[in-house]
């Protein structure tokens, strides 16, 4: 398990700098689908959870495949 953990920690800087991009994409997606500020805020959180979840799954799959290789 240690090599997998080491690979995950190595990805931390990229994840750290990737989070603002996820937030930006979520905000823009939400704001281009709604007009009301309250709806935009709610939708941005909704999008952020979806994007973060999907990208997190992709990252997990990449790490797992890399560990198994």
Partner 1 sequence: MVAVAPRKNENSRPRVVAVSPDDGSAIDLRNPALAALLSWCVPGLGQFYQGRTHKGRLFMGAILGTFLAGLWLGGGKVVYASWKPGDTRWAYVCQAGAGLVALPALVQSMQLNGVARQPLFGSGFMAPPLAPGQYVSRSYADTLVRTDPDIDAEDFFDKPPLRQFRIDQVSIWHRRFGRWFEIGTLYTMLAGMLNLLVIYDAWAGPLGTPTDDDRKVHKKGTAA
Q: Which of 19, 28, 61, 64 binds partner 1 (CB under 8 A)?
A: 28
d(CA 44, CA 61): 25
- For residue 5, the minimal CB distance to partner 1 (Å) is 21
Question: How many residues interact with partner 1 (rule CB under 8 A)?
Answer: 18
Q: Of 1 and 12, which has the nearer Cβ to partner 1?
A: 12
* Token output for 49: 């959870």
- For residue 27, the minimal CB distance to partner 1 (Å) is 6
25 burial level (CB within 10 Å; 0-12, 13-18, 19+): middle
Name every residue whose Cβ is closer than 8 Å to that of residue 4 and which is 6 or more positions away in sequence: 63, 64, 67
What DSSP designation does 1 have?
-
Is residue 31 close enough to count as binding partner 1 by CB under 8 A?
A: yes
Interface residues toward partner 1, by CB under 8 A: 13, 17, 20-21, 24-25, 27-29, 31-37, 39-40
């Amino acid at each position: 398990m240690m090599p997998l953990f080491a690979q995950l920690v190595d990805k931390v800087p990229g994840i750290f700098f990737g989070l603002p991009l996820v937030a930006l994409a979520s905000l823009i997606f939400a704001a281009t689908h709604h007009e009301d500020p309250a709806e935009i805020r709610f939708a941005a959180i909704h999008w952020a959870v979806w994007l973060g979840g999907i990208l997190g799954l992709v990252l997990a799959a990449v790490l797992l495949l890399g560990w198994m290789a």
